[in-house]
Amino acid sequence: MIIDTLQNASRYLSVHPLVAKAFSFITETDLPNAADGKSDVTDGLKAIFSKASGKTAAASVAKFECHNQNIDIQLCIDGVETFGWKPREKCVLPNGSYNADKDVQLYFDTPDTFFQLTNGQFVIFFPEDVHAPMIGEGEIKKLVIKIKI
């Protein structure tokens, strides 16, 4: 997992070949005015804009998730978003089987730690990062970029 601000995004371009395209998309987009929805940025790169009310920690942790086929870049555009996190190697209670169509594995485990993002901060989740997003109060506008691996 990586947590940082957009001004330091160039430090992470070597993480995956599509990370540079992901951050170019972010810098070239009018983030505050982007409409909710999904779009394909390029082959292997999908952008999902959303604006929704934050959830309770219990509601988010009920869908404690990770992905096998994608890296997530989750960017807070407006609001304060709290995430729960735990390394996948420490998760021992699967909540069902891996869903290949949605690229999601859920767990009954609970996070080891919680952290917050505010405007212009991002987190990069790898397949080994189990996470519970959208914890907070009030509206949260965010962008999730899915990078196919």
Tell me the C-alpha distance between 149 and 135, whole Å. Answer: 27
**Residue pair 41/21 in contact by the 8 Å Cβ criterion:** yes
Residue 6 pLDDT class (50, 70, 90 cuts) = very high
- Name the band, by pLDDT with cuts 50, 70 and 90, for residue 1: very high
Q: Are strands 45-53 and 139-148 parallel, antiparallel or unpaired?
A: antiparallel
Taking only the tens place, the pLDDT of each residue in 109-126 is 999 999 999 999 999 999
pLDDT at 93: 97
37-43 average pLDDT score: 97
Backbone angles phi, psi at 72, to 5 degrees: -105, 130
Identify the helix (H) or strand (E) that includes residue 19: helix 19-28
Please tell me whether the overall predicted TM-score, pTM, comes out greater than 0.85 for this model.
yes
Distance CA 44, CA 103 (A): 14
Q: Would you place residue 82 in the very low, low, confident or very high pLDDT band (cuts 50, 70, 90)? A: very high
What domains can you pick out in the chain, each with its CATH number? 2-148 (2.60.120.370)
